[in-house]
Amino acid sequence: MPSSESQIKTAADSVLNRFGRDVITDRYEFRGDTTLTVARNSVAEVVRWLRDSAGFDMLVNLCSVDNMGESPRFEVIYTLTQAETGVNLSLKTKVDDGEEVPSVSGIFQGANWHEREVWDLMGIKFSGHPDMRRILMWEGYPYFPLRKDFPVQGLPTEVPGVAFTEAAPTQGAPFATEQGACPSTCREPRSHKF
C-alpha cells in the first residue's frame, strides 16, 4: 500500500495535469502536507473534479485568513480528504475585498454553514450560495469581527434595540491582563479570584 505522502503527491500531480498552471497557480509542500493555490473562479470546478475523479469524498474544513496589508487581502482555504485512506489535500484561493468566491455548497452540503460563517465573520461572499445570511452576527450588522482591523473590544453600531451596540470594555474581564502591575504569575487570568 502506498504511503499517504505519495498518495497526496499523486493527487496533486493529477490536479495540476488536469487543470494546468492557469488554474493551479502554486503548489506548497510542508511536513507531508500539500496545498494547491487555485484561481478564484475555478475553485468549484477543481473541488468537483477532486470529489468525482480523485476520490476526495469529504470536505473537512473551509475557513479564511486575513492577510491585512497584502493584495489580495484574503485567502479561503479548503481541506478535502479521502475518507477511506485518510489522505488530505488543501486548496486555497486568494480573494480581495468585495470579490466573490464560487460556492461549493452544491458539491459538499457541509460547506453551506462554513461559507456562511466566512461571510459573517470575514465579509467574503460566495456566489451561487443558496442562503447567504449571517450565521452568528445579526442581519444589518455592518462589521466583520474576525478581520484584523476589527478592535478586540468591538465597535458601536447603528442598530439600537437589536443587540448590544456599545464597545465592550476589556478592563477587569476574566482574560484581560495588565502589563507591569505585578509578576506574570499574578497577571495570569486563572490566578484571579471570582
Cell digits of residue 119: 461571510
Which pLDDT does position 7 carry in this prediction? 80
Please, which residues bridge with residue 124 across strands?
none
Q: Which of 29-33, 35-39, 41-45, 105-109 has the lowest mean pLDDT?
A: 29-33
Most confident of 6-20, 28-42, 177-191: 28-42
Distance separating alpha carbons of residues 176 and 18, to the nearest angstrom: 51
| DSSP state, residue 190 | G
pLDDT of 116 strictly over 70 = yes
Using only C-alpha atoms, the chain has a radius of gyration, in whole angstroms, of 21
Residue from 108, 104, 101 nearest 123 by CA:
101
Phi and psi (nearest 5°) for 65? -130, 135
Count the Cβ atoms, other than its own, within 10 Å of residue 30.
7
Contact 119, 136 (CB under 8 A): no
Which pLDDT does position 155 carry in this prediction? 75
Which residue, chain included where needed, has cell 460547506?
111
Quote the percentage of the chain above a pLDDT of 90: 58
| DSSP state, residue 97 | T
pLDDT band at 6 (very low <50, low <70, confident <90, very high): confident
pLDDT band at 1 (very low <50, low <70, confident <90, very high): very low
DSSP string, 26-37: EEEEETTEEEEE
Tens digit of each residue's pLDDT (9 = 90 or more) over 137-186: 888 888 999 999 988 777 777 665 655 555 555 555 555 555 555 665 66
pLDDT of 16 strictly over 80 = yes
Tens digit of each residue's pLDDT (9 = 90 or more) over 83-110: 998 889 999 999 999 999 999 999 999 9
Instruction: Tell how strand 74-82 and strand 33-38 pair up.
Output: unpaired
Which pLDDT does position 35 carry in this prediction? 95
pLDDT band at 33 (very low <50, low <70, confident <90, very high): confident
Which pLDDT does position 156 carry in this prediction? 74
Distance separating alpha carbons of residues 188 and 194, to the nearest angstrom: 13
Q: Domains along the chain? A: 4-150 (3.30.460.80), 152-194 (no CATH)
